[in-house]
A and B are shown apart, each in its own frame.
Chain A
């Protein structure tokens, strides 16, 4: 099974700052990687698919990059509603797998 390792586990930032989240795959997943945001008591929300494509309705401050084994989610300027958990997920191999998550918290 493909293991996705996210770093850091927790990111402490202030509103307006730039957030950079990392996801590393145990083997190449091509560009078949997505990012999700999850807030307490809510289901995950798809942000980015195929490494760099924003899902419908996702603000332009969210961007994704990378391919192969190393991927990055960038939030250019944190809004108050962006403080949440973020997960990556690969769809290149079975079973589909998720990273363990990065928590973006208010500093």
Chain B
């Protein structure tokens, strides 16, 4: 069973870059079965799909991020990452990595526990 674990700084200063890593266990980041996604949840709010990366390296980022997001993969470490540049207080959120393991793409049945990122000086 695929398990995901987010890691990264809990505090980022405004205008700097938010960097998060998702470590995958129980499955290979090289698998052509899964899309590896990032989703965030603003405090007390709903869920926002940020983007994904496929094993081939192809990526998608939500246009709402205005090209600030980069998603990449480190096959040697079985990890994928999110970098979000020029952050503001509006980027304060709980960040999840997630994937679909059930064979139904784009329905997220495996999630990390989430990591809270606060943007503040």
Contact call B108/A44, Cβ cutoff below 8 A = yes
Partner of A49, one of B49, B60, B104, B113: B104
User: Measured between alpha carbons, how far is A46 from B107 in the docked complex, in Å?
Assistant: 7
Number of A-B residue pairs at CB separation under 8 A: 54
Which candidate, A65-73, A76-84, A91-99, is the interface stretch facing chain B?
A91-99
| Given A56-B102, A91-B106, A95-B63: A43 and B112 interface contact (C-beta under 8 Å) | yes
| Given A94-B60, A95-B62: A44 and B104 interface contact (C-beta under 8 Å) | no
A56 contact set on B, CB distance < 8 A = 102, 109
Partner of B64, one of A32, A44, A95: A95
A34 contact set on B, CB distance < 8 A = 107
Interface presence of B54 (CB below 8 A): no
By beta carbon, the residue of chain A nearest B104 is A49
By beta carbon, the residue of chain B nearest A57 is B109
B111 contact set on A, CB distance < 8 A = 43-44
A32 contact set on B, CB distance < 8 A = 106
By beta carbon, the residue of chain B nearest A90 is B106
Interface presence of B57 (CB below 8 A): no
Residues of B within 8 A of A (CB-CB), count: 22
Overall SS of chain A's interface: loop
Q: Kindly identify, within residues 8 to 45 of chain A, every residue whose CB is under 8 Å from any CB belonging to chain B.
A: 32, 34, 36, 42-44
Interface presence of A55 (CB below 8 A): yes
Q: Which of B98, B105, B108, B111 has the most CB of A within 10 A?
A: B108
Interface presence of B74 (CB below 8 A): no
Contact call B96/A98, Cβ cutoff below 8 A = no
Q: How far is the CB of A107 from chain B (nearest CB, A)?
A: 22
Shortest Cβ-Cβ A-B pairs, 7 listed? A43-B111, A91-B106, A98-B47, A96-B49, A49-B107, A46-B109, A95-B62
Q: Which residues of A contact B (CB under 8 A)?
A: 1, 32, 34, 36, 42-44, 46, 49-50, 53, 55-56, 87, 89, 91, 94-101
| 11 further contact pairs, Cβ within 8 A, besides A43-B111, A98-B48 | A1-B64, A32-B106, A36-B108, A42-B113, A46-B108, A49-B104, A56-B102, A56-B109, A91-B106, A94-B60, A98-B46
